[in-house]
Amino acid sequence: MSFLRAGTHRLSLARPLIMGIVNVTPDSFSDGGRLDDAQAAIRYGFKLQEAGADILDVGGESTRPGAAAVPAAEEIRRVLPVIEALAGHGCVVSVDTMKPAVMRAALDAGAAMVNDVMALRASGALETAAASDAAVCLMHMQGEPQRMQQAPSYTDVVEEVGQFLQDRVAACEAAGIGRERMVIDPGFGFGKTLVHNLALLRHLDRLAELGLPVLAGLSRKSMLGALTGRGVDEREFAGVAAHLMAVARGARLLRVHNVAAMRDALAIWNAVEEQQDGT
């Protein structure tokens, strides 16, 4: 697992990778609709790339707890011009969607990765990803976005999330998706209480032992608010700390809003990790 294959791209995993979030939604909790405009989203994507993003994750439907579902045609209308422009300029673009129709349109427009919070469980999703050469991010979620935070419950959250991800990896392999195209993700905040999220972060190394690159998405999440008392726009420092803890436990991809802050933190991380002890 020294690289991730995503379409024509081959991304080295020697250092942790930064996935920058480009929301094209009027209701995303973190952008509040500021990017509900293709041109603004495209400019924002280039800005994130300049700031050090290795992958740009373009999403047209918020998955925040209780968010309303968006029809596929509307989701496609939002993300397609953004994906076309960013991929057309050589950016590694991921599409954040659960819907096979959106995946197909995004892949045709140049997306090199499918980031699916349902881990390709929607009817037709697995086949769509398998028919492409894109990378896939398989995320764990208990329940579905509308009701997932109502009563999350596990006997052993780390064990159950690990088992789920192993099952989805096996399903992907059976469908013809090679392991060099796969990323796994515990899905922080997706059908999980604070205690569940903390257990998953503390034991992230057990998921890394599955032998696939692990993505951590902690940016601005409510667990950071619960621990710091901070509002959604004030969680940058907590997010950087949490992501570095994830890296220390084996995470190889970090899905973040503030790319520049994460890049600086990783500059320190990489320098210390790669230092040759000498005189």
Of 255, 261, 262, 266, which lies in the binding site for ligand HH2, with binding defined by CB under 6 A?
255
Cα–Cα distance for residue pair 264/261, rounded to 1 Å: 5
The size of the chain, in residues, is: 279
Residue closest to 78 by CA, chosen among 62, 59, 96: 59
Burial class (CB in 10 A: 0-12, 13-18, 19+), 252: buried
Q: Does 215 bind ligand HH2 (CB under 6 A)?
A: yes
Closer Cβ to ligand HH2, 213 or 217, answer by number? 217
Which of 104, 181, 221, 252 is catalytic? The answer is 221
Closer Cβ to ligand HH2, 28 or 49, answer by number? 28
Residues 147-166 that bind ligand HH2 (CB under 6 A): none
Cα–Cα distance for residue pair 30/234, rounded to 1 Å: 11
Of 115, 132, 142, 197, which lies in the binding site for ligand HH2, with binding defined by CB under 6 A?
115
Pairing of strands 17-23, 251-256: parallel
- Whether residue 99 lies in the annotated active site: no
Give me the residues paired with residue 185 across strands.
139
- Token pair 């032998």: residue: 211
Residues 175-194 that bind ligand HH2 (CB under 6 A): 185, 187-188
Alpha helices by DSSP H, the chain = 38-51, 72-88, 100-108, 125-130, 157-175, 194-202, 204-208, 222-228, 236-248, 259-274
Q: Does 30 bind ligand HH2 (CB under 6 A)?
A: yes
The answer for residues whose C-beta is within 8 angstroms of residue 276's C-beta and 6 or more apart is none
Q: Does 237 bind ligand HH2 (CB under 6 A)?
A: no
Q: Which stretch binds ligand HH2 (CB under 6 A): 47-55, 57-65, 73-81, 228-236?
A: 57-65
- Whether residue 255 lies in the annotated active site: yes
Of 217, 244, 247, 252, which lies in the binding site for ligand HH2, with binding defined by CB under 6 A?
217
Q: Residue number with the shortest CB distance to ligand HH2? A: 217
Of 29, 46, 237, 269, which lies in the binding site for ligand HH2, with binding defined by CB under 6 A?
29
Of 72, 117, 223, 254, which lies in the binding site for ligand HH2, with binding defined by CB under 6 A?
117
Closer Cβ to ligand HH2, 115 or 258, answer by number? 115
Of 18, 95, 137, 223, which lies in the binding site for ligand HH2, with binding defined by CB under 6 A?
137
Residue closest to 266 by CA, chosen among 5, 53, 50: 53
- Give the type of residue at 143: G
Q: Does 106 bind ligand HH2 (CB under 6 A)?
A: no
Q: Does 64 bind ligand HH2 (CB under 6 A)?
A: yes
Question: Between helices 259-274 and 38-51, what is the axis angle to 10°?
Answer: 20
Of 28, 97, 132, 142, which lies in the binding site for ligand HH2, with binding defined by CB under 6 A?
28
Cα–Cα distance for residue pair 34/26, rounded to 1 Å: 7
Binding site for ligand HH2 (CB under 6 A): 21, 23, 28-30, 59, 62-64, 96, 115, 117, 137, 139, 185, 187-188, 215, 217, 255
Annotated catalytic residues are 221, 255
